[in-house]
Amino acid sequence: MSRPLRVICTGLFAAGALAACSNVPELDDKISPALRDADFPTLLPLDTTLNATGLSNVTPAAEGKAVQDDLAARAARLRARAAALNSVEN
């Protein structure tokens, strides 16, 4: 085994040994008995949730179109600004 490989293997072994010595907190002790015995929340269909929030007409295509329009408007403003700056310099 070459020296650099031996050093790397020794370092990895030492790191693993140090990690094994750490104290991991018990997560089960952090949960209260009332929370542990609580029922799972009721799951709602996505359509119901979207209708309740007023977002039922949002589609990925509409969102994509809105983002595309916003980016096109920003690009047009930047081009106009660049043209204005170029005309001032010349």
Confidence of residue 84 (pLDDT cuts 50, 70, 90): very high
Mean pLDDT of 57-82: 90
Mean pLDDT of 31-35: 83
Q: How far, in Å, CA of 73 to CA of 66, rounded?
A: 11
How many alpha carbons fall within 13 Å on the CB side of residue 15? 6
Q: How far, in Å, CA of 77 to CA of 83, rounded?
A: 10
The CA-based angle 17-30-24, given to 5 degrees, is 5
Q: How far, in Å, CA of 6 to CA of 14, rounded?
A: 12
The larger pLDDT score, comparing residue 70 to residue 1, is at 70
DSSP 27: G
The average confidence (pLDDT) of the chain is 82
